[in-house]
Structure 1
């Protein structure tokens, strides 16, 4: 039987699936038990080099195609969760989902971004010509010195009706009230999706 929600989880730069699993533990413990979190490693050439792309977004197209193939190869994903560079990738994938035809990535219904930022490359700007309609959550640390709050808010502003959740911490995936609110978002999404089907 398929889980209620299946979420693809994308790690940050120089991270990997196992690191993200540990970073997400406080948030994951608040999620309903039937949420399936799928952690993957970036398609890097070496373990020390894990990243979805490198300087100047070099490797972005390869990553987009790799994630697209992954999403098309098994049961569908309801949403994508990304942390740091993985959050920036999540935003780009949401934009590709709404702007590129034919779509290089399978459809998904929501995006959750923690400590995310936007690309300032001209080829990515065209993807964000219109605000994205996909439901989105943006978790932002007021004390984040790696991805400042203003950069995460710029990403949130690319979406029509973003749910912005701020916390007092830094570049982390928090638990507590933030995790509870994220779990509420997922429960609301699942209810709406069930009614629509």
Structure 2
């Protein structure tokens, strides 16, 4: 299976290739997967105090906030409440429900990649890339409804995910904000870290997926893509099983 790979905010395709290298190498070693890397289209400048943390320039984001910077939390500042949805609601309140008016442009470009490549059947998103991957799943569902275009994506893998941007409003949403038929029904695999300050964001995304077709893997670390051999081996076993199931 070939995967479209979307990096986190302020990263780029080359950084994601490095972050995912052990995972990709493990899957490729048995011929289970190949990968197509892309990146956001909005080049951004990293503040001097954070230079190097997101990898070497150029640095990009997919989503362009109408009020730049309003939804960028320091890890220590991210709120914590009793449920993931309560946490995200508080985060939305702090950001003023930021609107990402370019989301249509973003998903149009990614759908264009899917159509041009022709053989991509899965998507992998890390952090912001996971947020965009969820929005892309919605766009494929919308196009099937209005034009009959069959979705190309059969599954999604989310590393340290964030809730998606709704196509109608341009705002991030949680399960309380969507209709029953907007829950993600394609098989999804969520890789989270118990020590991730943004864990509630990942769990809010997980809660937007059909419980009968989703899996959760906790690597125990922070807001990172796991790279240790034992963890990667365990992770790829589960991903291989998902690939087999959706390819049957």
> Fold conserved (TM > 0.5)?
yes
2:118 is the counterpart of 1:80: no
2:111 is the counterpart of 1:68: yes
2:213 is the counterpart of 1:160: no
What is the deviation of 1:149?
Answer: 1.0
Query: TM-score, structure 2 length as denominator?
Result: 0.67
Q: Distance in 1 between matches of 2:164 and 2:118?
A: 29
Stretches of structure 1 lacking an aligned partner (at least 5 in a row): none
3-state SS of 1:69 partner: helix
3-state SS of 1:79 partner: strand
2:240 is the counterpart of 1:187: yes
| 1:52-77 C-alpha deviation (Å, 9 max, x unpaired) | 11223232111010001111012321
- List aligned pairs for 1:41-56, cutoff 5 A: 41-44=39-42, 48=58, 50-55=60-65, 56=99
Q: Distance in 2 between matches of 1:115 and 1:58?
A: 23
2:146 is the counterpart of 1:102: yes
Point out the more displaced range, 13-22 or 51-60: 51-60
Query: TM-score, structure 1 length as denominator?
Result: 0.83
Paired positions, count: 189
Match of 1:89 in 2: 132
Match of 1:150 in 2: 200
Please identify the structure whose Cα radius of gyration is greater: 2
Provide the alpha-carbon RMSD of the alignment.
Answer: 2.6
Match of 1:173 among 221, 225, 229: 225
Stretches of structure 2 lacking an aligned partner (at least 5 in a row): 45-56, 66-98
What is the deviation of 1:182?
Answer: 3.3
Change (3 A) 1:97 1:85: same
